[in-house]
């Protein structure tokens, strides 16, 4: 086994998504089995059987949604391009890897590949800019356990939050402006911007997760670059009978439509690439709702995906976290 001391694994962490319609149910089973993400009632020993039940029922409901966006989640595609693009821009010593929490490639597979490549150092980058134990926390724990088991010599440095990283806010602002360009000039400055972040159960916020505060900081930073448009922040994708963060995105859209606003721009925040929540929930479900209520121009800002300014932002983020002695 060859060891390369100069090289650094750049590992991007994300949740993953089903790569086929058949994968929808086992993906959801993995997701609902994670007690860091969701604590089903009745305790740990019943989590898995309950998860199986919920995944089965929910798969029936969301499989047609995946079918409508091409039969699979684009998340691995985008995450792979993001990490490769960031690695390239961070300097040629970085070798890109991806580890997904709920679908392939899982952390074990990725750590195995890092070991096989003879790498001893890793910068591990959560692709959730806003910290919560439910996503970043769970992903990092999962990755660390795989490292301890399979490649304990690997020296890992973690980047677990970057909501306030200015180049990220700059890239987000550019996407917002691209969205605004799609609204006719005479309505543009009356556009209502709706930032939509993934909802968390309110209990996560109450226990001290900085998620809400992080999202707010990102939104304020981006809007400082976009200009003095009216905007709101709302939360999408609630599921299950608990208290969720508010306001709800769907309700916010309804409210704005009923107030008579004719131009709405949705901005996905907390996601850094397209997946089912942007391509189906916003682009199909919310659009239909808004148009039924009389909104004439319902648009969504493009996701960050592999826009060059976002890849540079990630590259600079990684370089800014390089520990002493790794600069090479």
- Among the listed ranges 25-33, 37-45, 138-146, 223-231, the one in contact with a copy of itself (CB under 8 A) is 223-231
- Does 220 sit near a copy of itself (CB under 8 A)? no
- Does 302 sit near a copy of itself (CB under 8 A)? no
102 is catalytic: yes
202, with CB counted inside 10 A (0-12, 13-18, 19+), is: middle
37 is catalytic: yes
307 is catalytic: no
- Does 81 sit near a copy of itself (CB under 8 A)? no
Catalytic residue among 25, 209, 250, 281: 281
198 is catalytic: yes
- Alpha-carbon distance of 286 to 306, in angstroms, equals 25
The single residue among 39, 48, 161, 188 that binds a copy of itself, judged by CB under 8 A, is 188
Catalytic residue among 115, 198, 297, 307: 198
- Among the listed ranges 27-35, 52-60, 115-123, 183-191, the one in contact with a copy of itself (CB under 8 A) is 183-191
- Does 240 sit near a copy of itself (CB under 8 A)? no
- Alpha-carbon distance of 307 to 312, in angstroms, equals 9
What are 13's strand-pairing partners? 99, 126
Alpha helices in 163-321 (DSSP H): 166-180, 185-188, 202-206, 211-226, 249-258, 276, 287-292, 308-320
DSSP assignment letter at 190: T
- Alpha-carbon distance of 166 to 172, in angstroms, equals 10
255 is catalytic: no
- Among the listed ranges 58-66, 184-192, 211-219, 254-262, the one in contact with a copy of itself (CB under 8 A) is 184-192
- Does 2 sit near a copy of itself (CB under 8 A)? no
SS (H, E, C) 52-117: HHHHHHHHHHHHHHHHHCCCCCCHHHHHHHHHHHHHHHHCCCEEEEEEECCCCCEHHHHHHHHHHC
In the block, residue with structure tokens 């969301």: 62
Size of the site for a copy of itself (CB under 8 A): 26
- Among the listed ranges 76-84, 195-203, 219-227, 283-291, the one in contact with a copy of itself (CB under 8 A) is 219-227
CB nearer to a copy of itself: give 2 or 327. Answer: 327
Is the Cβ–Cβ distance between 25 and 55 less than 8 Å?
Answer: yes
Residues found near a copy of itself in the complex (CB under 8 A): 88-89, 91-92, 166-167, 170, 173-174, 177-178, 181, 185-186, 188-189, 225-228, 308-309, 312, 315-316, 319
Among all residues, which ones are annotated catalytic? Answer: 15, 31, 37, 101-102, 198, 274, 277, 281
């Amino acid at each position: 086994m060859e060891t390369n001391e100069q090289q650094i694994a750049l590992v991007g962490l994300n949740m993953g998504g089903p790569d086929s319609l058949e994968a929808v149910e086992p993906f959801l089973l993995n997701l609902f089995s994670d007690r860091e993400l969701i604590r089903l009632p009745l305790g740990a020993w019943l989590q898995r059987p309950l998860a199986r039940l919920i995944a089965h029922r929910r798969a029936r409901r969301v499989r047609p949604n995946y079918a409508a966006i091409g039969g699979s989640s684009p998340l691995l595609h985008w995450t792979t391009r993001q990490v490769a693009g960031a690695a390239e821009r961070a300097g040629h010593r970085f070798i890109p890897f991806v580890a997904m929490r709920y679908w392939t490639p899982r952390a074990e597979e990725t750590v195995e590949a890092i070991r096989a490549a003879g790498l001893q150092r890793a910068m591990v980058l959560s692709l959730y800019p806003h910290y919560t134990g439910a996503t970043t926390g769970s992903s990092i724990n999962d990755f660390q356990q795989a490292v301890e088991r399979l490649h304990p010599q690997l020296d890992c440095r973690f980047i677990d939050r970057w909501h306030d990283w200015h180049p990220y806010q700059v890239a987000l602002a550019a996407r917002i402006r691209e969205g605004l360009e799609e609204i006719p000039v005479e309505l543009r400055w009356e556009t209502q911007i709706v930032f939509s972040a993934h909802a968390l159960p309110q209990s996560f916020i109450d226990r001290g997760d900085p998620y809400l505060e992080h999202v707010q900081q990102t939104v304020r930073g981006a809007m400082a670059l976009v200009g003095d448009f009216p905007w709101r922040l709302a939360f999408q994708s609630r599921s299950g009978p608990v208290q969720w963060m508010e306001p709800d995105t769907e309700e916010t859209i309804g409210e704005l439509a009923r107030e008579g606003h004719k131009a709405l721009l949705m901005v996905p925040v907390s996601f850094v690439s397209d997946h089912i929540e942007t391509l189906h929930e916003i682009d199909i479900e919310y659009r239909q709702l808004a148009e039924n209520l009389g909104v004439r121009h319902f648009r969504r800002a493009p996701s960050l995906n592999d826009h060059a300014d976002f890849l540079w932002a990630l590259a600079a983020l990684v370089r800014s976290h390089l520990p002493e002695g790794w600069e090479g």
